[in-house]
């Protein structure tokens, strides 16, 4: 069985929610200045545990 994942991004100020299939797609729309975190930092993190800063709340989850 193949499992798919999605990256869930919530902007803290506006409350807007966006979904991305991978970090490459996320960083094709936004740069590290917009997000407040670099791509290399997110690559080293386990995004299933999530990541949060003053600007965003980000986590990865499985979808069917």
Q: pLDDT tens across 19-54, in order?
A: 999 999 999 999 999 999 999 999 999 999 999 999
pTM of the model: 0.85
For the sheet containing 56-63, what is the strand order?
17-20, 4-11, 56-63, 51-52
User: Is 48 in contact with 59 (CB distance < 8 Å)?
Assistant: yes
> What does DSSP assign to residue 40?
H
């Amino acid at each position: 069985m193949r499992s798919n994942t999605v990256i869930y991004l919530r902007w803290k100020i506006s409350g807007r929610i966006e979904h991305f299939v991978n970090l490459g797609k996320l960083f094709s729309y936004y740069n590290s200045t917009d997000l407040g975190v670099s791509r290399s930092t997110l690559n080293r993190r386990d995004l299933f545990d999530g990541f949060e800063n003053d600007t965003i709340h980000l986590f990865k989850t499985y979808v069917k």
